[in-house]
Amino acid sequence: MKSKSDWRKLAAGRRKSMRDTERTEASALIAQRLFSLDTWKQASEIYMYCGYKDEVRTGEILKRALMEGKRVAVPRVLNEKDMVFAEISSEDELDTGMFGIPEPSAEAVGRVTDITPDLIIVPCVGIDTGGNRIGHGRGYYDR
């Protein structure tokens, strides 16, 4: 049986080997599937991440959520252990964060609001054979 670390390496290798066109197509399919779910349709407040590098591209999801009038909060990494979610109302409120990931600007973080998410979209490297999320290994979303 493979360890979580083994699964992480295997999944990360597969993601990195994808061509850019494959990633774009897969991201669009994921977004369309998400938009068809009742959970999406009923959600008014969302926590979500901003994809970067070889992750699922979430720009279309973010744009649609804002266009549909959903309240959206995205994470900002504060240090090696902590992150906070801050509400944004536009992609223009994103800066490049600690790891090169788009994050809410310092100004947006100063406006942390009372969002209680109906839907949370988290990044993952992959899913193991038991259907469990395998993250990047830093534990931000676990905490």
Strand partners, 96: 102
| H helical segments located in 1-143 | 4-17, 20-36, 38-42, 59-67, 106-109
Residue 1 clears pLDDT 70, i.e. is over it: no
Q: What percent of the chain has pLDDT over 90?
A: 47
**pLDDT tens, position by position, 15-71:** 777 888 998 999 999 999 999 999 999 999 999 999 888 888 999 999 999 999 999
pLDDT value of position 83: 84
81, 111 Cβ separation under 8 angstroms: no
pLDDT value of position 138: 64
Confidence band for 10, pLDDT divided at 50, 70 and 90? confident
Q: Which two tokens stand for residue 79?
A: 């240090």
Residue 136 clears pLDDT 80, i.e. is over it: no
**Section 68-93 average pLDDT:** 90
Tokens 């902590």 sit on residue:
82
Residue 107 clears pLDDT 90, i.e. is over it: no
